[in-house]
Amino acid sequence: MAELNIRARNSVYTDLDFAFRPIQMESDLPGDIALKKDVEAVKQSVLNILKTNRGEKPFLPSFGSNIKSYLFENIDESTRILIEEDIVFSLRNFEPRVNIIFVNVENLEDNNEVKISIELEIITPIQVTATVEFALERLR
């Protein structure tokens, strides 16, 4: 009788690495595209949602966020709150794998950018907390 080779999945979430780097590990097939797994896959998804403008994705016009539309606005307290609300709205609607703990929007006027930091709880068998940070830059 032949022996069955059965193994369990090592990761809960996987996604393609959007940098399209080739695989570096010996256990995978050379020439394949690397994968993001677990926390890194969810963080990449969060960035993808927030950096996609609403109306940009065909057949799903409500997907994404409008945070880029605030770049050339005067970033005061009310604008900062609007950006935070847009982030929370977008992630609650399009990323069911996370619970939002905290969102911080910081205006860096000298660098012409808005720094965004999001603390998330990633829903896995073991609750994991992760931070996603990125900057929206205004180009002159």
Q: Report residue 116's pLDDT band, with 50, 70 and 90 as the boundaries.
A: very high
For the stretch 117-128, pLDDT in tens is 999 999 877 788
- The per-residue pLDDT for range 40-78, each reduced to its tens digit, is 889 999 999 999 999 999 999 999 999 988 888 888 899
Q: Which of 24-28, 30-34, 80-84, 94-98 has the lowest average pLDDT? A: 24-28
Is the distance from CB of 125 to CB of 12 less than 8 angstroms?
yes
Q: Hey, is 59 helix, strand or coil? A: coil
The helix/strand/coil state of 82 is helix
Report whether 47 contacts 134 (CB < 8 A).
yes
Least confident among 1-5, 36-40, 53-57 = 1-5
What gap in Å lies between CA 140 and CA 11, rounded to an integer? Answer: 43
- In order of their start, the domains of the chain are 14-137 (3.10.450.40)
Helices (H) and strands (E) in the chain, counts: 2, 5
The answer to whether 114 and 79 have CB atoms below 8 angstroms apart is: no
CB 131 within 8 A of CB 120: yes
pLDDT at 1: 53
Q: For residues 103-125, give the mean pLDDT.
A: 89
Q: Helix, strand, or coil here: 99?
A: strand
pTM assigned to the model: 0.79
Q: 108 pLDDT exceeds 90?
A: no
